[in-house]
Structures are given as C-alpha cells and as structure tokens.
Amino acid sequence: MFVVCMLSMYMEDPTKQHLLAVKRVLRYLKCTLSYGIWYKKQGGEDNLVGYTDSDYARDSDDRKSTSGYIFFLGGGAVSWPSKKKPVVTLSTTEAEFVVVAYCAAQAVWLRRILTSIGWESSIE
C-alpha cells in the first residue's frame, strides 16, 4: 500500500523511472498472489496491539507529512493505513502526535467492533 501511495504522488508528470517502479510492483504482486495473513489465537496474542510512525515534511512541495499505523490482533494485521496528512506540522514531534491521534480514534473504533462481537481484549 505504501509503495502505491508513494508512486501515485507522481501520476501528474511520471518519468521512465516511475514506470519501471510500477512494473516492479506489479511483478511482485503477480509472484505473491498466494500469500496471505493468518490469524491464530495464541497465548498472549489476543490483545489489540497498535504501532505508529510518521515522517516530517517529506513532500517538499507542500511540506505535509506521511504517516501510518498498524494494528495486530491474534498475530495478524487487521488495519494498516498510510497517508499524507491533510495538515502541515511544524516539528517531528507534532507529526507524531497527529498520527497518534488518528491511531487512537481507530483503536477506539476497532475495540467497539471487537466488543460487539464478544471479543474481550485490551489495547496495547
């Protein structure tokens, strides 16, 4: 997903290098069609666990940060966006706080869904 987001930033004026990168992504996808995510309930892995990361002003045109988070449940990923943020942050710390706020909202939403289906877990 992250690679697709990065490549899509150059759709307006792509170069030969961008086309080669797209072809490489497509070859990778073709060779990994049988891959998947396995979900198993294992001791101690039934909690919802989330991680975040953000860069600071990666896009030199608009100075916006790209950030993302990932949540694991039962040893498998259940939610993992990566996006350019709609706001301009003034520091690395602020960029991290923005992604943590998005991640916290997603954690609350995921926990509500899990509770509604009878899955009792804590958030880490």
**pLDDT at residue 45 in the model:** 57
Q: What pLDDT sits at residue 91?
A: 86
Q: To which residue do tokens 């990666």 refer?
A: 58
pLDDT band at 42 (very low <50, low <70, confident <90, very high): low
pTM above the 0.85 mark?
Answer: no
* pLDDT tens-place string over residues 72-120: 887 788 888 888 777 888 888 888 888 888 899 999 999 899 888 887 7
pLDDT confidence bin for 43, thresholds 50/70/90: low
Strands 66-73 and 49-54: antiparallel
Nearest CA to 50 out of 94, 96, 103, 8 is that of: 103
**Cβ atoms 72, 33 nearer than 8 A:** no
